[in-house]
Structure 1
Amino acid sequence: MLALDDPLWGSLQHAYGDARDVPVLLRALAASPEPQEDPEAEPWFSLWSSLCHQGDAHTASYAAVPHLVEIGGQFAGQLDFNFLLLPTAIEVARRTGRGPALPAVLGDAYLGAIARLPDLVSIHRHEPWDQAMLLSAAAAQAVAKGHIDVAEALMNLDDDWIGRINRGEVE
């Protein structure tokens, strides 16, 4: 895993340029990992907009994922669904051509973190889950097992789609 003080962050890219600010965001998340009610709450808002802007991944996205999984795994409280959904969205982007090639220097840590997403789900399985957490957990497990299309479908489910499916309105 790329250390947060590694100078390589400056050569990695996110949606807005170089990724020197990502370690600051990850440190802020580690200091306050509790679920947030406001979807624009920091640091999640900046992490999403930088690392998976409009569904695209970047080299900094790959470096951040192991940190997200580690922070989520170490947190003893109720997990914010973004700990599962952001790594899942980044892997879907990578696997569907909406991200650059995975740099070799980041590969082992990144792929290992994706493989550990089901462990993160398991660690937090006894907590109360709302629909967002349930869908994120299911999508994370799908992406970790290589079912990219299923993960992407789960990420796109919302109340409207679920209702339409249940009423048989989707062909």
Structure 2
Amino acid sequence: MLGLDDPLWAELTHAYGGASDIPELLRALAARTVPTKSVTEEPWFTLWSSLCHQGDVYTASYAAIPHIVEIASTAMWPIDFSFLELPAAVEVARRTGRGPEIPAVLTVAYHHALERLIDVIGIHLKEVWDAPMLHSVFAALAVSKDDIATAEAMINLDSDWIERIRNCDFD
């Protein structure tokens, strides 16, 4: 895993340019792992918009995911759904051609983090999950089992789609 003080962060990119700001956002995330009340709360808002911007991902996305998974695996209380959904969304984007190749120096840690998503789910299994968390769990599980189509479907699933499925409304 790329250290947060590693100078390589300055060479990585995100949606807005150089990624030297990402380590500080990850530090802030480690200090506040509880579920957010709004998608505009920091540091998640900036992490999402920088690392998975309109479905596109960047080299910094691959460096950040191991940190996000590590933080989630050590949190001892309910976590925000983004701890599972952002890694799933990054991998879906990568696998569907919406991101660059993973830099060689980040490959092992990135793939190991995706494998660890199952452990994170297990750690938080007994917590109360709302619908966004449940969908994120399913997406992360699908990514960890290499089912990108199901992961993408779970990321895009919302209450309107659920109601349409329940009513067999496929027009």
Query: Structure 1 length normalisation: TM-score?
Result: 0.99
Residues 55-112 of structure 1, C-alpha deviations (whole Å, 9 max, x = no match): 1110000000000000000000001100000000000000000000011100000000
Q: Matched residues, percent identical?
A: 59
Matches within 5 A, 1:37-116: 37-116=37-116
Aligned-partner Cα distance in 1 for 2:138–2:79: 14
Shift of 1:122: 0.8
Tell me the matched-pair count. 171
Letter in 1 for 2:134: L
Q: 1:70 aligns to what SS in structure 2?
A: helix
Residue 147 of structure 1 corresponds to: 147
Shift of 1:170: 1.9
Q: Which runs of 4+ in 1 moved over 6 A?
A: none
Q: CA RMSD in A?
A: 0.7
Query: Structure 2 length normalisation: TM-score?
Result: 0.99
Q: 1:116 aligns to what SS in structure 2?
A: helix
- State whether structure 2 residue 13 is matched by structure 1 residue 20: no
- State whether structure 2 residue 163 is matched by structure 1 residue 136: no
Mind listing any 5+ residue stretches in structure 2 that lack a counterpart? Answer: none
Q: 2:2 aligns to what SS in structure 1?
A: coil
Shift of 1:31: 1.0
